[in-house]
Structure 1
Amino acid sequence: MSYCCVPKCNSNKKKDSCKLKTFHRFPVNSAIRQEWVVKIRRDIGPHFKIANNTRVCSDHFPEESFTKTLCGIRKLKEGVVPTVFTWSSIKPGRRKIVRTASHVATATGGEDALGEESDESSHSVGQDPQEDIACTSSEVETSLPYADHDYTQRPLSLEEQLQEACKTIALQEEEISTLRSNQFLLKRFQCDDKQIQFYTGFRDYSTLKSVFTALQPTAEHMVRWSQAQKVKQAGEHIDQFILYLCRVRLGCLQQDLANRFNVSQSTVSRI
């Protein structure tokens, strides 16, 4: 594996910017290996399996985790684990001081009791007796779980799956219709006399159709039966006639005609 398996890491051996990085295998020791898996936030399963070539790049280890051999090769020390990640570099949100009154003073010495409780709480947090420290949820940045760990997503119901399948089928049918309309066959330009004249030499579609109708009975008996079966793979006889006319009218090469009509070059040669 030429890339790092840590989520959101784009390190790749093939990139010029990663030439100075090193890529390290998972340790053989099962306990340390499991600690690596926990640290990089991956779950071993169908989407992630540890193989001999599964690597973690040097960006995820502090500098003191490495040692150099006498030959100058950079190696990891035994027992070290990756600790440097994008999610570990997020700074906690700014703490906000919020005034609170958790107890209501009673008519007999309630204020003194409240003051004593406030003093005790202030000594525990090291703040002013009248103030308590709280962090608002909007100010604390938390890292989202990796996509492989999104267990909160609700599975689709059978009705929703059916709707998605119907949408997919509709899109595929539309793509098939578009592809068919773009095929280089007579249906594509039979309503355009200029295109008919350019590709076939006939002045319009009706003239072309009349000539083909006159030649069709003879054309069906011009080849042996085995050859005719192979020729049928190219489509309707009228489209074979168009292919022939493009050959004699424009001088198109056989490979060009094969690409245009989506057939093999040998089929063009037989036609």
Structure 2
Amino acid sequence: MCGIVGLFLKKDDLRPKLGDMLTDMLITMTERGPDSAGIAIYGDDGEGVKITVQSDTPEVDFAGLEDDLSKAAGVAVSVKVVSTHAVIKAPLAAEAALLAAIEAKGLRVMGVGESMEIYKEIGLPKDVAERFGIREMGGSHGIGHTRMATESAVTTLGAHPFSTADDQCLVHNGSLSNHNSMRRKLAKKGVFTKTENDTEVGAAYISSRIADGASLGEALEGTLEDLDGFFTFVTGTKNGFGVVRDPVACKPAIMAETEDYVAFASEYRAFADLPGIEAARVWEPEPATVYFWER
């Protein structure tokens, strides 16, 4: 079943409230999938790269991590530990060396980018949001997901969002029938997935299309031609936010737009506490139709 939320802010005065609003929206979706939850936050750009990593034993794996990574990358690295996750910041030029060092340590990479941070774990949305302090996080846009596992096991890596490229991520409600054949096609292009979850294939497909020069809108249009099954995708990039439903559109979806924001959810009730919702244009996104906004 699963529940999706997304929020793209058009005006900067709401940025400090992004995490708080997204958290309320996601908690409303709990009944749609209580086994795991996750949120991607696009915050302020820093001068460098941010790498979000996860560990099942953070008290061991994160001890001395800042010094170890600084030595491996040959530059000053900062590490902010947030429960089972850590956000590593360093100059952009150190990204490749950092990723190699992180892989050698056996840490799981949740996301990489200049503005994106991804937090996801097993548990109810309210517990996951509280664990990572999502309410206190600000930013320009974000997406969230609460999962009912049908295609793979209940694990941290099976939770959404999935990210397969810098500052790009995806959440999904539905099921892809050709995800294994698409994995093979992507692998031939040098694009590899790490989990058995079909959603990661959707994320990899979109990021691959963008890497080949497609716009966000073109990449989303491509899903309608190349991905089989039933799906609602909500995706984020550094500057954009997009939505697409398959031609059958059997999964519930609703959108709302005001002068201040664009919001997406699997159910109307997720919009109830958004500011100015009473004046919003509210509609159900059409099947096989791409919607996207960019800064």
Identify the structure with the greater helix proportion. Answer: 1
Shared fold by TM > 0.5?
no
Largest Rg, 1 or 2: 1
Higher strand residue share: 2
- RCO (CA 8 Å, sep 6+): is it higher in 1 or 2? 2
Shorter-chain TM-score bucket reads under 0.3
**TM-score (norm: length of structure 1):** 0.19
